[in-house]
Structure formats: C-alpha cells, structure tokens
Amino acid sequence: MSFQAQQIHRAFGGTQVLEGVSLTVEPGEFVALLGPSGSGKTTLLNIIAGLSIADAGRLVFDGEDITDLPAGKRHFGMVFQNYALFKHMTVAQNISFGLRMLPRSTRPSRREIADRTRAYLEMIELPDLADRYPAQLSGGQKQRVAMARALAIRPRLLLMDEPFSALDAQVRQSLRGSVRALQKQVGVGTVMVTHDRAEALDLADKIAVMDHGRIVQFDTPENLRANPATDSVRALLA
C-alpha cells in the first residue's frame, strides 16, 4: 500500500513554506526528509499526519484520496521528538493506549491487547520494564516505548519527527539500528524528518532533500552521494 503526496503547497502569512512538493512512499519503504531548518520538512510531515492542512495538492493512500480525512481516521502512527508519553501510565499502558482507544467494533480483545503489548515489549528489548513509569526510564528507553506505542496499532504509515534529537550522540547512534530493525520487522512504510545527514544515510531507503519548500532531489543514499543534483545537495551530504 503506497502513499503519495501530490503537488503540496502551504503558506503561512506571506511566506511560502511548501511549493509543489510531491513524494511517494512505497510499501515498507523508509523515507527520510532531510534539510536545514526552515526547509519545510516538519510542515510536510504535519500535513501527511493530518495535523495541518495544505493550501493545495492531494494526499493519496493505496489509491484512496485522504486529503480531507481527519488525522484520527488516517490510522497513521506518529513518533515525536519529545516522546509524548503519558506520565501517569506505565510502559505497558503507554504501548497499549492506542489499542484501547480504538472503536469497539475494531478494538482487539483484552487478551489480544495484552499479548500484543508483551510482543512489542520484547521487540524493543524492554520486557522487564512493563510496570515502570516514563520518569523511571532513560531517554533511549522512552523513545523505544514511543516507537512501540506507534506501531502497536499496526499503522498504515509511520511518521517520525526528529525522533533522536533529544538524545546524546552515543545513544542516538545505538538506537538508530534498533529502530531500523524494528521498522523492517513490522514492514510499515515510514517517513522521518531529520536535519542529521548521518541519520538519513544510515536509516533511509530513499532521502528527499528539501530546500526552501521544495524537494530538490529524491533518491537512494548511494545515488545522492554519487550524483548530487545541486550544490546544496552536495554540501548537505559532504
């Protein structure tokens, strides 16, 4: 099930933030939005998530136009840079939250929710921390829980906004491998915003390099390095 953003435009006041941005994410593909601050990365992610509305353009998932579909009905998972875990809930309760909030007609049974929560605790290698609270976790552990919570609902698309930016360099590097392995295991298409070229090159199947509200090149890491389309792409990947 592929996702497409088609000719997305967005302006704030008199400033054009996105100008005719088009992007395709194939099933199971990991796409990084890479660029400097102000290039439009997060605005595009928020439009995909349904947290912001485009001035023009279409969003299509598996052939269905979802441009006007509310965020809650898109069934996309979201991982924020500040984790956004519920402080009053345990790790297990955080992971199962989205499942417990599903409409009764689509909500799994209590047993299935418990089983799926345990499975994701194993996936993120935190099986013994189910009863801890976020305040008792390290930054890396919190981000793993946030990832598991987003994936537990079996989203149609996973969106991540600078998911490692709050972590120190050593934790960031070690966690990247875990996140990529988990994404591959689940097989969900993923879009990640980052300004860190090492993250993009390490994690992504394809990178959309953004500059001044446009995608200036969309290609594999290997092709971007070998054939940068512009001086700005060359400088960003140097």
- What domains can be seen in the chain, in order of their start residue? 27-197+213-228 (3.40.50.300)
Sign of CA dihedral 156, 130, 184, 37: positive
Helix (H) / strand (E) element for 50: namely none
* 54 three-state secondary structure: coil
Q: Which residue in the block uniquely carries the two structure tokens 């290698």?
A: 125
8-state DSSP, 139: H
* Per-residue pLDDT tens listing for the chain (238 residues): 899 999 999 999 989 999 999 999 999 999 999 999 999 999 999 999 999 999 999 999 999 999 999 999 999 999 988 888 999 999 999 999 999 999 899 999 999 999 999 999 999 999 999 999 999 999 999 999 999 999 999 999 999 999 988 788 888 888 888 889 999 999 999 999 999 999 999 999 999 999 999 999 999 999 999 999 999 899 888 7
